[in-house]
Every structure is written in structure tokens, then in C-alpha cells.
């Protein structure tokens, strides 16, 4: 357990940051899932709309430290490729 005043504050901040990061990563996973479900259902219009929402969510999560920048970029790129492949 933290003994000093600064260590106690750091512990409180860590708990708060953990909750925020969990929320962000959960939101990002949900956005990815909505695109994947639309692709699986073959609904191109819904997939495009879900991707339009998911891309900024993933990028924002990366900017705020919820995931690595390249991980977010890779996920957006792969989702975009899957949605694009539906039109062929």
C-alpha cells in the first residue's frame, strides 16, 4: 500500500486512468464488432456507416493512449479493405 501522500495520489490516478482506458478500449472493440457484423451479414451500406463511425473511434483511442497508434491504423486499414471488397 502507498505510504506517502504522492504515492496515494498516484494510486488514485492510476485507478481513474484504468477506468477511462477500459471504457475507450471497450468502445473501440464495439465499433470494430459492428463493422464485422455488417460485413458478415453482407450489408454493404451498414458496413460503410459502421466504418465511418469506427475509424475515428479507433484513432481517438490511440491518441488517448488506449492502444498503439499503429494497431489502430492497422485495424482501420483491414476493416476498410473488407468493406471495400464487398463492392467487388
Look at residue 18 and tell me whether its pLDDT is greater than 80: yes
Q: How confident is the model at residue 1 (pLDDT cuts 50, 70, 90)?
A: confident
The residues spanned by each domain of the chain are: 5-86
pLDDT for the residue 88: 74
Fold (CATH) for 5-86: Methane Monooxygenase Hydroxylase; Chain G, domain 1 (1.20.58)
Residue 87's contacts (CB-CB under 8 Å, 6 or more residues apart) are 44
Convert the pLDDT of each residue in 28-85 to its tens digit: 999 999 999 999 999 999 999 999 999 999 999 999 999 999 999 999 999 999 999 9
pLDDT for the residue 87: 83
pLDDT for the residue 25: 94
pLDDT for the residue 53: 97
Rounded to a whole number of angstroms, the distance between the first and last alpha carbons of the chain is: 59
Element (H, E) at 37: helix 5-41
Amino acid at each position: 500500500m502507498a505510504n506517502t501522500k504522492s504515492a496515494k495520489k498516484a494510486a488514485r490516478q492510476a485507478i481513474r486512468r484504468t477506468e477511462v482506458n477500459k471504457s475507450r478500449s471497450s468502445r473501440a472493440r464495439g465499433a470494430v464488432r459492428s463493422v464485422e457484423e455488417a460485413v458478415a451479414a453482407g450489408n454493404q451500406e451498414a458496413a460503410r456507416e459502421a466504418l465511418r463511425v469506427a475509424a475515428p473511434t479507433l484513432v481517438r483511442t490511440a491518441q488517448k493512449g488506449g492502444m498503439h497508434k499503429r494497431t489502430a491504423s492497422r485495424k482501420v486499414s483491414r476493416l476498410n479493405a473488407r468493406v471495400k471488397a464487398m463492392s467487388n
